[in-house]
Structure 1
Amino acid sequence: MKKIKSLYFLFGVLLFVLALVGCSGETETEASSDSNSDNGKNEEAETQLVEHELGETEIPKDAERVVVLGLEDMMLSLEAPIQAATSTKGQYLYDELIDYGAEVIETAGASYNFEAILAQDPDLILVNAAPAGADGLYDKLTDIAPTLALDREDWETSIQKIANVFGKEDKADQVISNFHTELEEAKEKIIAEVGEGKTVAFIRPTPKDAQILFPGFSYTRLLYENNLGLESGDLVKELQEQEEEDAWGMVMSLEKLPYLEADYVFVTAGSSLANEEDTEKALLMLEELKEDSLWQSIPAAKNDNIFTVSSRHWMLNGPIAESRKIEDVLNALTN
């Protein structure tokens, strides 16, 4: 009888142990399931889908190693992270990028140094859409890291998209507001100094011809259309009527320079992306052209109202570039 009771006791203990093991397994399974679910949520939260000029791209939500190709102006204005950026000595943001702690990928022109970009081990690339959309360049960049292509010319829209990526929405609003305030204040000062209804033109000459840039061109838009109290000169209007509505401008012969009727003419030489040597050559060419009788026959030249400005920021867009353009016009017409 005692043996039977002992067997019952052992059997009961065994059932109890098995029950404990079963409960433990269920708890571990539930914990594992909960853990996997949480991990899935975390992974999902670590990326975001962003629409841009060349499609939609899944990017890291907290990107830090960011390589910037042509959108440096907006990124600096937002105080957003820049691991590396393209520039060369003499460009208007070169020193600012160095001071910001960004590594400068030395580049002249609109080319990309893919090897140098890859060496940065970026988790995100931001690129100006215009050059990136050609010759498969965008695809090559996406092979390195997720890449967003944005329109530099429409910088007010693009800076808001960039701000959304980095959580800088308030900063973008401030940058845009500051630009419009600066523009309006400059306009008031210019009108107070020179009066209303004054006309203007913007040209970029070469030894053989000259580009005359229209009001619709993003680089020179703020100079025209009463943004600073100035209107297009007669020749600008005449030539614009001969071109398509959204034309950037046109190339005219130097023989047309004496017909450049405008109270003020702003002139630049060279490219925004040229190296220092090429920029010096372009400026030397401009100085030589100023000695030509055709140049001296420009009505504004006779009144000493031709002003030379830097192509470094006039031939680009962004809040810093636009602010410097405003300063150039303000200094020229009010000093």
Structure 2
Amino acid sequence: MISLRQRGRWLGYAFACLAAVLLTACSGSGGSGQAAQDAGPGFPVTVKHAMGETTIPKRPQRVVVLDTPEMDAVTLLGIEPVGAAVVDPATGQFPAYLKDKMARTEKVGSLDEPSVEKIAALKPDLILSSKVRHEQIYAQLSKIAPTVFAETPGAPWKDNLKLYAKALGKEQEAAQALARYQERARELGEAIKAKHGGQAPTVSVVRFVDGPTRFYQKKNFSGIVLSDVGVRRPPLQDKDDFSLDVGPELADQADADYVFVMAYGDPSKTQKQAFQASPLWQRMNAVKNNRVFEVEDEVWMLGIGVQGAHLILDDLARAAGVDPRR
């Protein structure tokens, strides 16, 4: 038989054990909770992308981007990248429309040849680009930091934004930004149609580059924006393709209610002068009606994202003489 004194000892021991177990459990729970708190809401997260799956352990703070779609996306979502590749060799600078949002961003080489060493030196916690641009260095980049690639820039720019937003933990912000853009594009399209008696006008996009001149069609960034607005395209551009290479002999096929022209690189190496001096160009209705507009190549061609899209809407509003709906 156990004495009262022994029973007291056993009860004390039992309570001590129980307290120790509870303390250990609480400590373990607290540590896990602290780790989750440090990672940020929604992290870690596994993202499926063009190169497979990548797990991002915590909300990224030091992001490196290697093309303009990624620059537009991360700055839209309130993040200044620590490093970025230079896309336009003519200027050697980041896009002017993003300059204020990338004031402290370091250059990590060019779009064609980003420096893996410079990227590594920045100690990023996320790298963003696309398979079509940088597939060959993906293995090197993924050893530096979690790396997420879209398939290609251009036409799928809205889906690419959603992909990058998931990697950044900013999905809600991206969805709201896209919704605002879509609504503005719709409203602007209605205003432009009203200005033209209820019928959508035609819009032409001509890009002068070193080599053949390009008529841009519907399956590209600016083509998607124009489709969102609801304008029509001239016959050679009304195709679900990227672009059509043309010479001065087809200059008049660029005619439309509004013609937007831009140049990439050194204008003296393009056909711009020959095109615009051509009698075929000069007889276009757009030329006669002063509806040919010079616009920024870094916006219409390279500004692939919501911020760039809004600038295209600004250009359309100015050309048509309607409220920009900003």
Q: C-alpha displacement at 1:312, in angstroms?
A: 0.1
In the TM superposition, what whole-angstrom CA distance separates every residue of 1:134-164 from its partner, at most 9, and x where no partner exists? Answer: 3x22112112111111354323333333333
- The answer (yes or no) to whether the contact 2:218–2:241 under 8 Å persists in 1 is no
1:251 is matched with 245
SS in structure 1 opposite 2:187?
helix
1:55 aligns with 2:52: yes
Q: Which residue of 2 aligns with 1:315?
A: 301
User: After superposition, where does 1:74-89 map in structure 2 within 5 Å?
Assistant: 74-80=73-79, 82-87=81-86, 88-89=92-93
User: Which residue is equivalent to 1:159?
Assistant: 161
Change (3 A) 1:166 1:42: same
The 2-side partners of 1:105 and 1:251 are apart by 32
Gaps of 5+ in 2: 1-8, 87-91
Query: Does the aligned pair in 2 maintain the 1:107–1:113 contact within 8 Å?
Result: yes
- 1:107 to 1:190, Cα distance in 2 relative to 1, 3 A: farther
Identity %: 25
The offset of 1:287, in angstroms, is 4.7
1:210 aligns with one of 213, 235, 245: 213
2:139 aligns to what?
139
- Rounded Cα–Cα distance in structure 2 between residues aligned with 1:137 and 1:325: 33
Residue 179 of structure 1 and its aligned partner are, at CA, apart by: 0.4
> What is the SS of the residue equivalent to 2:95?
coil
TM-score, reference length from structure 2: 0.76
Cross-structure match for 1:331: 318
Match of 2:6 in 1: none
Match runs of 1:1-335 below 5 Å: 46=39, 47-70=44-67, 71-80=70-79, 82-87=81-86, 88-89=92-93, 91-99=95-103, 102-105=104-107, 107-132=109-134, 134=135, 136-150=136-150, 152-153=153-154, 154-195=156-197, 196-206=199-209, 209-223=212-226, 225=227, 227-237=228-238, 240=239, 246-270=240-264, 278-279=265-266, 281=268, 286-287=272-273, 289-316=275-302, 317-334=304-321
d(CA) in 1 for partners of 2:118, 2:97: 19
Cα pair distance change 1:113/1:228, threshold 3 Å: same
* 8 A contact 2:148–2:167 mirrored in 1: no
Are the equivalent residues in 2 in contact too, given 1:199–1:233 (CA < 8 A)?
yes
How far did 1:72 drift?
A: 1.2
TM-superposed CA distance for 1:257, in Å, is 1.3
Query: What letter matches 2:84 in structure 1?
Result: A
8 Å contact kept, 1:258–1:298 = yes
Deviations 1:91-124 (A, max 9, x none): 234513334xx42316444431212111101122
Structure 1 gaps, min length 5: 1-15, 241-245, 271-277
Q: 1:24, 1:233 → 2: CA distance?
A: 84
Distance in 2 between residues matched to 1:331 and 1:228, nearest whole Å: 14
Q: In structure 2, what is the Cα distance between the partners aligned to 1:257 and 1:169? A: 44
**Which structure: larger Rg?**
1
Structure 1 residue 200: Cα displacement: 2.3
Q: CA deviation at 1:265?
A: 1.9
Cα pair 1:61 1:165 within 8 Å, conserved: no
| Counterpart Cα distance in 2 of 1:161 and 1:318 | 13
- Is the CA contact 1:257–1:297 (under 8 Å) kept in the aligned structure 2? no
> Residue by residue, what CA displacement relative to the aligned partner does 1:56-88 show, whole Å, maximum 9, x if unpaired?
111122221221222011111111353223344
Cα separation, 1, equivalents of 2:143 and 2:75: 26
Equivalent-residue separation in structure 1 for 2:53 and 2:180 (angstroms): 30
Mapped partners of 1:207, 1:293: distance in 2: 22
Change in Cα spacing, 1:208 to 1:113, as seen in structure 2 (3 Å) is: closer
Give the drift of 1:205.
2.9
SS at match of 1:73: helix
Aligned residues between the structures = 299
The answer to which of 49-58 and 30-39 deviates more is 30-39
2-side partners of 1:141 and 1:106: how far apart? 13
CA change 1:250–1:280 in 2 (3 A) is closer
Distance in 1, matches of 2:210 and 2:126, equals: 42
1:78 is matched by which residue type in structure 2?
L
